[in-house]
Amino acid sequence: MDTQSERMPQVRLSKGGNFVVEENIDALRWPEECANCGGPAQEIDTLRMNKIFKGVGEIEVKGGIPYCRVCFPKIRAGKRLDRVHFVVSLLIGIPLGIILVAEMIALEADVQDPIIFLGVAFILALAVGYGIAWLVVKLPAKLLLGQLIAEPVHGRLIEEKKADGKRGVSVVFTIPREDFAVKFAELNAAKT
């Protein structure tokens, strides 16, 4: 009796405006229109997410996001820009973190728990690297190439406590276009 057509995904809207899919990801439905402009859906962008979770193993999820032929190259350019931004963030943040940690060691900073302090300093350096990379890479690219780049639908896997109290893996989607997000919520009976 439990067929594919009868199953509904369990989708909820998180506080940050993202959609969290807790169960039945394979039954997820997307509006039959371009996720970027609302035009006719002509291309499918395969969104692949995989992550290794302790006690569960590797989880891989695929989803197909609809786009029109005009927006599809813009979405691919947006994904490339995201990758470049991430790499530049690391290229700035890691050396900055190493320098910061080396300075703390050289100054022989008197802190109660040096390992935690150095870890926090390194994470802070990565955050600064992310911000600098955004200012140097992403912002100028969006300003100069705005018509050629579009923000894609993003997805990621998370481990969380489910409604039944057990821990499990969920998929989080960030949908940039508001009216597409509303239609997605309606199609999948998202709970708020």
What is the distance between the alpha carbons of residues 11 and 29, in angstroms, rounded to a whole number?
Answer: 11
Which token pair is 125? 């350096």
Give the model confidence (pLDDT) of 71-119 as tens digits: 999 999 999 999 999 999 999 999 998 888 888 777 766 667 767 777 8
Look up the pTM and report it: 0.75
Single out the residue of 146, 151, 183 nearest to residue 29, CA to CA: 183
What is the distance between the alpha carbons of residues 42 and 46, in angstroms, rounded to a whole number?
Answer: 13
End-to-end CA separation in angstroms for the chain: 28
Band of pLDDT at residue 3, cut at 50, 70 and 90: very low
Domain ranges of the chain: 11-69+153-187, 81-147
Band of pLDDT at residue 6, cut at 50, 70 and 90: low
What is the distance between the alpha carbons of residues 56 and 158, in angstroms, rounded to a whole number?
Answer: 12
Residue 44: predicted pLDDT: 93
Residue 50: predicted pLDDT: 85
